[in-house]
Structure 1
Amino acid sequence: MRRPSSVTREVRVLRRFRSTVPRHLRSPRWRRAAAAGVALVLVSYLVLWVYVPSRFVTVGPGPAPDVATLVVPLDESLRDAAGAGSGKGRFLLTTVQASGAGPSELYRALTDPLIDIRPRWSVIPRGMSDEVYSRWGRAAMAESQAVAAWQAWLLLGNETGVVSDGGEVLFVSPDSPARGRLRTGDVVLSWSLGGTVRPFVLSDDFERGLSAAFHREGKAATELTLRLMREDEPVTVSFPVTASDLVAWPFLGLVLTAVNPRTDPPVPVAFLPGDIGGPSGGLMLCLQIVDDFTPGDLAGGRVVAGSGTIGAGGVVGAVGGIGKKIIGAVRGGAEVFLVPHEDYVEALRAAAAQGPDGLDVIPVGSLREAYQALVSLTGREPADYNGPDLPPTAAGPLLRVAGPR
């Protein structure tokens, strides 16, 4: 007798299995419904796990870490002079948390009114990957740390400056006038436009300097020349720049970040690595350094939160997401919030929305103004704890608008 082939045996097994399936589940109608269900699951997966995260992000209040955990004074004698105690105030660095709008993030956004769903391009430039965006944020934070050390050290009456090894090209947008001329990985050493020739030190300095030079030229389009290193070879590239390129985001359709930004002579302070990116913590980093290297308590026993970029001359610049940062500050127990002048109205509204235990919102335009505001809040003379080399308080009471109590 011939033994059944393996194929014959498999067919018999399938027939037995089919005979065990209820008759109504073997009908064409049921098979069509099952196919539709599978298709629905597949489409839902593609929408929730692929399409939505690539097109949308969720934005909500981020953590507000104690800035003292991010800044470490390296000069032991000065660090000891700063002192510490149970009644010492704290500085909080407020943040905004943005995440790809995956299923869990979407659920949080739909159930938490404090979390928004926004188009991805409103947070991350079109064409930029998440990896490059993260690198951009970390590089911007490194620049902010160097500038904060520079400006705080100057306020303390010491001499220093900021240097770097040029600006690395992280991203070139499809609409950039440098498209096809610059490559990712290029390191820009200097730039020239019209009669202006300057080295590249910081991205903020590059943007401000180039904008000023363009407007001095007074032309509709002006040739920008960049001297750079590409794969260890010197290269010079040129391309025309128009007024619309100066207001593009990112600037010129480029992301240029300083390579190894640092103070020179070095400021005796180190910054601990973390997962916070962007330049908006510059003001609070400055205040922490000033507090670390002066006797007494600059915060006056209070929990002081804030946000603001820091630039040359100690100028405090506008930031984004101030409403979310106010919420993070309240959650962190802050009593005072320092905010750039440009963001003051939004901050005041957000503080008022927090109810009767809102924040004292103080607008500042510079590091010196922020320092003077904090000294004013203590009700003490600056010489009592800051020493004679620091700037005096303002002649009269500073503008101080309190949130509702």
Structure 2
Amino acid sequence: MPRRTATMLASTLMLIALLCAGVLIKVPYAEMSPGPTVNTLGDHDGEPVLQISGHKTYPTSGHLNMTTVRVTSADYKMNLAEAVYGWLSHDNIVVPHDTLYPDGKTEQQSNRENAEEFSQSQESAKVAALKQLKLPVKTQVVVSTVFKDSPAEGKLHAGDVIESVDGRKVTRTSDVAKFVTKRKPGQPVVFTVVPVKEAAAAEKSGKKPSRTEDVRIVTEKAEDSGPDRAVVGIQAGTDHTFPFTIDIKLADVGGPSAGLMFALGIVDKLTPGPLTGGKFVAGTGTIEEDGTVGPIGGVEMKTVGARDKGAEYFLTPKDNCAAAASDVPDGLTLVKVDTIKDAVSSLEKIRKGDTDDLPRCTKS
């Protein structure tokens, strides 16, 4: 066989071997890519994303799009060839598998956590929006979870409203643990609560609850390795009563990162005149009940997805600005936000065309 032919054959066989190895060798990585975007002012799957009843609403225009990131599933085994392609791709990011699914977390567990975070983000968005508009929101501390085989099991129930602990008025979730730990393990503590059924009936009728109950629970020692402290085996949370109905209709989305855009959509529908002036604005960010905007993951993917859909401006959490500004899609302006008030102010500038004064993201 001529040397040139032998060399070409050997090279071809080597290439085939490398390609086979790339397909067969599994690597511990996962991939992130731009996901769908949804206009919070529009419809999704045939119905409005934001549905408000019991309060006057106003016409809106333009876009306030929430953005998402698509990730490979927890049980997906990426091969070497896919990892190399992802590393070379401009629009995708390859990350260690444990970054997305730490501690061996299954996809089912991850989906459940994401669903819980998404639900909480909707609630926080409603509160932040109404506070921005100075509309009343009633907040109360409730029993969120009762742990199995704990002293509170069978005595307290999820949804019970906690009025006081040992006669001390409860106004925030942290009060519950603070008051319980004033007791020593083994000592009793008294919870004054509005039972969940009574609380639900009162909310439905718009009246104050007619009765409370005193529940005596003998504390036990916390099982952690810290100093001895008394616990009863519950997790406290917050529940809100709104002056009118706000429903967010969006399925198959998880995580807390749509909070800011939901809140802005609610503000837009409850105020005269479109916030965006008809412009295409997208964004991301968690939202706290006080209106603080928090950072999210995958911001680089979200800016790409937003620009691909036609966004001109992208509302970016302050702590994500440097990462987002490192590679900005052509034609997209990154607007830095730290609170919902910042976002509303920037949207007003966009609406009026005063874009030179927008707070923009920089690489540092």
TM class by smaller structure: 0.5 to 0.7
Compute the TM-score of the two structures, normalised by the length of structure 2: 0.64
Q: Which structure 2 residue ranges, 5 or more long, are not aligned?
A: 1-19, 179-184, 192-214, 227-234
C-alpha deviation, 1:57, in angstroms: 2.9
State the one-letter code of the partner of 1:279: P
Structure 1 residues 107 and 90 mapped into 2: Cα distance closer, same or farther (>3 Å)?
Answer: farther
- Write the distance in 1 (CA, Å) between the matches of 2:94 and 2:30: 6
Cα pair 1:136 1:257 within 8 Å, conserved: no
Cα pair 2:140 2:171 within 8 Å, conserved: no
Answer yes or no: is 1:75 the counterpart of 2:58.
no
Give the share of equivalent positions with the same residue, in percent. Answer: 25
C-alpha deviation, 1:105, in angstroms: 8.7
Cα pair 1:138 1:278 within 8 Å, conserved: yes
Cα pair 1:71 1:269 within 8 Å, conserved: no
Q: 1:368 aligns with which of 331, 336, 341?
A: 341
Cα pair 1:322 1:347 within 8 Å, conserved: yes
Answer yes or no: is 1:102 the counterpart of 2:61.
no
Aligned to 1:270: 247
State the one-letter code of the partner of 1:102: Y
Deviation digits for residues 82-141 of structure 1, max 9, x if unmatched? 224xxx211111111222363689876554423333333212231433212211111111
State the Cα RMSD in Å.
4.6
Cα pair 2:101 2:110 within 8 Å, conserved: yes
Cα pair 1:153 1:267 within 8 Å, conserved: no
State the one-letter code of the partner of 1:399: P
Compute the TM-score of the two structures, normalised by the length of structure 1: 0.58
Report the structure number with the largest CA radius of gyration.
Answer: 1
Structure 1 residues 339 and 197 mapped into 2: Cα distance closer, same or farther (>3 Å)?
Answer: farther
Aligned to 1:400: 360
C-alpha deviation, 1:292, in angstroms: 1.0
Aligned to 2:296: 319
- Write the distance in 1 (CA, Å) between the matches of 2:218 and 2:80: 46
Alignment of 1:2-401 (within 5 A): 56-68=29-41, 69=43, 71-75=49-53, 78-79=56-57, 82-84=58-60, 88-98=61-71, 99-100=73-74, 102=76, 110-112=84-86, 113=89, 114-163=91-140, 165-168=142-145, 236=219, 238-239=221-222, 263-351=240-328, 354=329, 356-357=330-331, 359-379=332-352, 397-400=357-360
Deviation digits for residues 27-82 of structure 1, max 9, x if unmatched? xxxxxxxxxxxxx9xxx6xx86xxx6xx5432222111112336323327623xx2
Structure 1 residues 210 and 293 mapped into 2: Cα distance closer, same or farther (>3 Å)?
Answer: same
Structure 1 residues 125 and 152 mapped into 2: Cα distance closer, same or farther (>3 Å)?
Answer: same
Cα pair 2:32 2:69 within 8 Å, conserved: yes
Deviation digits for residues 253-296 of structure 1, max 9, x if unmatched? xxx796xx753134421011411111111110000001111222
Q: Report SS of the residue matched to 1:151.
A: helix
Q: Report SS of the residue matched to 1:276.
A: coil
Structure 1 residues 146 and 398 mapped into 2: Cα distance closer, same or farther (>3 Å)?
Answer: same
State the one-letter code of the partner of 2:116: A
Q: Which structure 1 residue ranges, 5 or more long, are not aligned?
A: 1-39, 171-179, 214-222, 244-255, 382-395
- Write the distance in 2 (CA, Å) between the matches of 1:369 and 1:76: 28
Of 117-126 and 96-105, more deviation after overlay is shown by 96-105
